[in-house]
Amino acid sequence: MKQSEFLNTVMPFKDKLFRLAKRLLVSTEEAEDATQEIILKLWTNNEKIASYKSVEAFAMTMTKNYCLDRLKSKQANNLKLVHSNYTDENTSLQRQVEVNDSLNWMTKILNTLPEQQRMVLQLRDIEQYEYDEIAEMLDMKPTAIRVALSRARKAVREELIKKHNYGIG
């Protein structure tokens, strides 16, 4: 496979790889490194790419496995937990505080979910993959994905209700 073919195949979903890595590793720098590492691995095995049914699904699976291995390794102790939250110069200070608070709450809530539910929620609601694609990436049945997604959404909803209804009633 030539370089131009490789770039046309891999680059359209590079940002999805980064977002998945960011969700798992938290650190922007670590996510960038992971994304670069996955693309490099794909390039070194570029002759096999044509044999994959879905290169994107394969790359997402590689990213997930790489990030989980990274978190389990000794180097995980050295990871910086750096959150790069959304900032916009045109928004008011109050709005920035609200956005940061919401992002922090969602991060805390998502981190309390079991890993499988967190992955399914990320892939379906944030990355907007279809159930069949998620099933292929996570090696699960579509019905199990629906159940995990339902449970994850319910847990997030309950935590948000608890937070927003605290002291009311």
pLDDT at 62: 92
- pLDDT digits 0-9 by tens, 118-158: 999 989 988 889 999 999 989 999 999 999 999 999 999 99
> Which one-letter amino acid corresponds to residue 25?
L
Question: 28-44 vs 14-25: helix axis angle to the nearest 10?
Answer: 130
Report how far residue 110's alpha carbon sits from residue 121's, in angstroms, rounded to the nearest whole number. 9
CB 25 within 8 A of CB 37: no
CA distances from 168 to 43, 98, 134 (A): 56, 20, 39
pLDDT along the chain (169 residues), means of 10: 84 92 88 93 86 88 89 59 47 80 85 92 88 90 94 91 69
pLDDT at 84: 44
pLDDT at 76: 47
pLDDT at 86: 44
Report how far residue 45's alpha carbon sits from residue 96's, in angstroms, rounded to the nearest whole number. 44
Rg (CA), the chain: 18
Domains annotated on the chain, with CATH: 1-82 (1.10.1740.10), 91-169 (1.10.10.10)
pLDDT at 140: 92
Report how far residue 97's alpha carbon sits from residue 48's, in angstroms, rounded to the nearest whole number. 48
Helices (H), the chain: 3-10, 14-25, 28-44, 55-72, 93-112, 115-121, 131-138, 142-164
Which candidate, 77, 100, 78, 71, places its Cα nearest to that of 87? 100
Beta-carbon count within 10 A of 118 CB: 19
